[in-house]
Structure 1
């Protein structure tokens, strides 16, 4: 077949059009990849970052999560500078309504009390809520204080100064920890209370669970509070805590699940459940649900929902590996309804 000059031009145009069409198609596919940004809870940081790796591979949702603390998560989602905010304590209905936000839980985790004391091994030391409150308020200054040695008669504790470590940033972990102290100590409740940030009477502050874990690991005589995964990752010495029944409990996956299974989701309003010092056999006393906030009736929120829907469907194994407890199936179904009511369920899912 002989192709003339004009015929060659036609073929060139057709070929060029095909290349352009392929290029446009590739751009179109690339545009379908959702990119979302989350800020907040360091407590949930390991979980969200690991979920993000799986979601990007399987559903093409790219998640940039920055664990800057619950205070930053609340502030940035209210100012609409991020796709979602992550907090370790629930937000009031009034604040949600005022800022047109939707709240839902994502997982349950535990807070470990960790120490750095020479010759004290993992889970060897026993403490109680009132003793920890007295340590952080400065009433107990030495590790061989009679109140501590009385419940640790089989442990040799030296005359060592106690160095309390706390979160210096606005932190849901701090609110959960101080809520525990409020329940355990009337003096703490009256003097310091519970909040994401309080006026600590003494000690050294660190920003984020990772910073507190690092400080406890490196400061002799220190005590701190961190999310369970951070305690394990940094090989920190965790203590036993006295529960509401008078038994000393060790923080493990089993004691965390024992606390989580007692949550009263059926009667909860806005997914607000209190798991601190909850009554249950072998239940760890300092447990919290972690939450996400997204704008209602917002197209950008659909990418967030697509991510967390994948996490609820496929991410339970990852949660268990990182020592979190996944939500019950009926709670996930309830969350799905919340997404529908708020107009943020993805159309293609």
Structure 2
């Protein structure tokens, strides 16, 4: 925020109306809001699609990026990679320790670092970790590939996912995708091998 900006200049906001069934950003955002606000938790909740109380819509990261970029004073939520790619400003969010942290590589790594065990279903939540993780960005999350077990070209798909998790990680840092913690990588590779086997 600009120190010279007298708030509120105007009331403008943006929200996602993501019709895709796997709206991970919406889930993470509403999970964070539900953890910090009992009113949000009661009235809106945590889900991949929700009925927002106000705002204009944009479909997915691209749609919200377009709305925020073309609307003066707009606020929205998008993946950190879209913030970087489009030169947008990011807000620091307050974590459970009361610290305001930005979505940068170090703070996202700090959110993922505490993971020491991956459950059998591979589902992990690192949104707004306990206050002892004071340097963690509270809206961090893992990215999942959800694929059918009987995909028509399962071997090729498994090879692509394997590359993304291993050699492909070399390209992640420039878009604020933190390296996958070893325990998470091991669980991911196990899932990929099951997909390869068909």
Structure 1 length as normaliser, TM-score?
0.51
Per-residue deviation, residues 314-341 of structure 1 (Å, max 9, x unmatched): 111111222102323343333333344x
Native 8 Å contact 1:228 1:323 kept in 2: yes
Counterpart position of 1:254: 106
Would you say the 8 A contact 1:206–1:212 is kept in 2?
yes
Instruction: Give, in whole Å, the separation in 1 of the partners of 2:165 and 2:195.
Output: 19
The runs of at least 4 aligned residues of structure 1 exceeding 3 Å deviation read none
Q: What's the counterpart of residue 9 of structure 2?
A: 160
Whether 1:281 and 2:130 are equivalent positions in the alignment is: no
* TM value normalised by structure 2: 0.87
The question of whether the paired residues in 1 share the 8 Å contact of 2:18 and 2:49 is answered with yes
Structural RMSD (CA): 2.1
Write the mapping of 1:315-334 to structure 2, written as runs, cut at 5 A. 315-334=168-187
- CA distance in structure 2 between the partners assigned to 1:158 and 1:311 by the alignment: 43
1:230 to 2:79 alignment: no
**Deviation (angstroms), 1:343:** 5.7
- Which residue pairs with 1:303 in the alignment? 156
1:208 equivalent in alignment to 2:60 = yes
Matched positions, count:
193
Greater RCO, CA 8 A, separation 6+: 1
What's 2:31 paired with? 179
- Quote the residue 2:69 is aligned against: 217
- Matched-pair contact (CA < 8 Å) for 2:122–2:187: no
Q: Does the aligned pair in 2 maintain the 1:298–1:344 contact within 8 Å?
A: no
